[in-house]
Amino acid sequence: MERPPFVHPGICEVHQMPKDFWCYDDETAVCGGCRISSHLNHDVVRITEKNEEELREFYTAVDETVDLVDEMKKATKAIQDKTKTVQTEYDLLISQVNHSFPIQKMSSFNYQHVLTIFRCVIILGICTPF
């Protein structure tokens, strides 16, 4: 069950006392009167302890999120670097293809076929048959 972090106690409708405790068994804030009556054998802590626990969990989640964002930034940088390398290699091979196989001597289909093969080899490292 999702519940908002940081419990803000209110006033108990039964005892008209502040809800200064948290009942883990029933997942609710309770007052001192409810604590000694209907929540007597339950796992009950002061509401401030509950809030401190929620705050620790929140900061743990924030730290994990920051770590994930850092990893994503590193991965993005690695992809960008690899993309630049691949593009440079691709441009060099295309230049070599153009030099070795002048466009005037090659049909459009054959030229595109050669380019497709080079793209597969460079970018994917493999090439599937057409």
CA distances from 48 to 30, 37, 59, 109 (A): 13, 21, 16, 74
Predicted pLDDT at 1: 45
Q: Are 6 and 51 in contact (CB under 8 A)?
A: yes
pLDDT in tens, 44-99: 999 999 989 989 999 999 999 999 999 999 999 999 998 898 888 888 877 877 77
| Distance in angstroms (rounded) separating the CA atoms of residues 69 and 50 | 29
| Distance in angstroms (rounded) separating the CA atoms of residues 39 and 28 | 10
Average pLDDT taken over every residue of the chain: 82
Per-range mean pLDDT, top range of 6-10, 112-116, 121-125: 112-116
Q: Are 31 and 17 in contact (CB under 8 A)?
A: yes
